[in-house]
Structure 1
């Protein structure tokens, strides 16, 4: 198989599996943090097993842990716990769209602390994501009698889930931001640290607020273990393969397929509905998140195909 074709195929399957988080979580009778913890543990075990098989485990001894490495893992674990919990309290569309506000928060943090300049294009994309977020959670709503209204309150029906969704987006943004540090660490080692410290962070939360497994029956355990295998190990392994054959921009674009899968499952499997404004909000989040990447790819291809001036 052509390397590019292999990369696109594995990334599409990986993003599709990631979009199925809500489908699994709603069939597991326990809290989102337990589900996220299982996913972190399975991910850590699988990454370590792969490193052992490839003879890379010895590299871990020479890596110096720093606050940025630990913090990125903690943020990943907590953001996934918030995201999985969000899928249990709000629509799958809201949950998956809100976690993808993460790149916005990461960009803002990079501009503040890393002094990265925000171009006019980036600013417009950030604005699109922000407005889309307001549409999704209902702060901007539409009523035939009053038209568009702005209210500083969440939709009562999905309030808890929407807040958790926003928290997952913030956590994802922090994870992306702290991942910018210590780029000298290999991807396998960094993934192992992320999963490990993410699991530790969730475990600390268990000490403060012990989870209940009383409602877990055989079916729930089967769904939980299946989620750990398919979404933890399966999606992660496919992502690793895809990363070897695709550019970062291509990976980022295809990853947004997760939002389409998540929203689609909510509508098809759980009979959830989206208002017109929420659908527009989802489009704004996706478009704002990947718009700049697509535009830059088009510009590069245009320049590469531009004929050189004759001397």
Structure 2
């Protein structure tokens, strides 16, 4: 498969799976750090088992660990733990908005340090999905009485949750940014390192603040292990593959698809309502996330039918 096509495909599936976090977490009676730790551990076990089966485990000995490899895993683990915990101490809107500042951070960092150029098309698509995300999670809302309003609020009561939300956003952005380093490492090996160092980082947090499993029952354990497999091993392994083949801005655009999936599950499973403005936000997110892919395909087909007009594509 073409590297770009592989990157886009794996990122779309990863974002879709990540959008199911709320569906799983609402059925698990434990703290966010335990959920994040389980995702890391299950992911590490699964990817290591696959590497042993494929005879690739010996490759790990030849890989030189660098700060970027270690840091990307640590940032991934901490951002997931901080995000789930943030939803317990602040409003869901604040938590979601703050973690999704991450793709914006990563795009800016990649442009500065990795010299990744952001085309006008990519910038416009990223702007569209960011605005759409604000519509979906209710930061920007509309009523006939007040018109368009911004509902993001910070208070002393939500200070802990908002701080955790900001940490999750910074961690997410740093993870996406550091994932763009060392693309020479295979995706399976990089996934294993991400899972392992993410689990170690969360385990250190356990020493400082020991978790409690007193409220966990059989159903909660089933949901927790399932979440570790699908949204830990599945989603995060695919995200690692996508990060190897896509630029930070391209990753950012498609990552916002998660908010559409989350909103859709809220409607279908939890009977949550959807406003017209949220529906418009969904269209912006899907259109912005998929727009560059579609335009790329159209231009490539046009060039294949008219080879003489072949010119370098102005896309990122």
Matched position secondary structure for 1:156: coil
Change (3 A) 1:167 1:287: farther
How many angstroms apart in 1 are the aligned matches of 2:300 and 2:247?
A: 13
The answer on 1:308 being equivalent to 2:313 is yes
Change (3 A) 1:286 1:309: closer
**Contact conserved, 1:101 with 1:285, CA < 8 A, in 2?**
no
Change (3 A) 1:3 1:83: same
How many angstroms apart in 1 are the aligned matches of 2:5 and 2:91?
A: 33
How far off is 1:179 after superposition? Answer: 0.8
Change (3 A) 1:295 1:309: closer
How many angstroms apart in 2 are the aligned matches of 1:118 and 1:91?
A: 33
Change (3 A) 1:208 1:88: same
How many angstroms apart in 2 are the aligned matches of 1:174 and 1:234?
A: 21
How far off is 1:257 after superposition? Answer: 6.0
How far off is 1:35 after superposition? Answer: 0.7
**Contact conserved, 2:96 with 2:137, CA < 8 A, in 1?**
no
**Contact conserved, 1:97 with 1:285, CA < 8 A, in 2?**
no
Matched position secondary structure for 1:157: coil
How many angstroms apart in 1 are the aligned matches of 2:258 and 2:58?
A: 34
**Structure-1 residue corresponding to 2:263:** 263
Cα shift readout 1:118-137 (whole Å, capped 9, x = no counterpart):
22222222322333344345
Cα shift readout 1:250-269 (whole Å, capped 9, x = no counterpart):
99998776544322221122
How far off is 1:144 after superposition? Answer: 1.4
Cα shift readout 1:54-107 (whole Å, capped 9, x = no counterpart):
111111112111111011111111222244446667898997787566433322
Change (3 A) 1:120 1:306: closer
Work out the number of aligned pairs and report it: 311
- Consecutive unaligned residues of structure 1, counting only runs of 5 or more, are none
TM-score (norm 1): 0.76
**Contact conserved, 2:103 with 2:251, CA < 8 A, in 1?**
no
Point out the more displaced range, 250-259 or 62-71.
250-259
How many angstroms apart in 1 are the aligned matches of 2:52 and 2:128?
A: 44
TM-score (norm 2): 0.75
Change (3 A) 1:145 1:239: closer
TM-align CA RMSD: 5.3
**Contact conserved, 2:97 with 2:134, CA < 8 A, in 1?**
no
- Consecutive unaligned residues of structure 2, counting only runs of 5 or more, are 304-308
Point out the more displaced range, 209-218 or 291-300.
291-300
How far off is 1:183 after superposition? Answer: 1.1
Cα shift readout 1:191-245 (whole Å, capped 9, x = no counterpart):
1000001111111222222222121122212221222234334556888999999
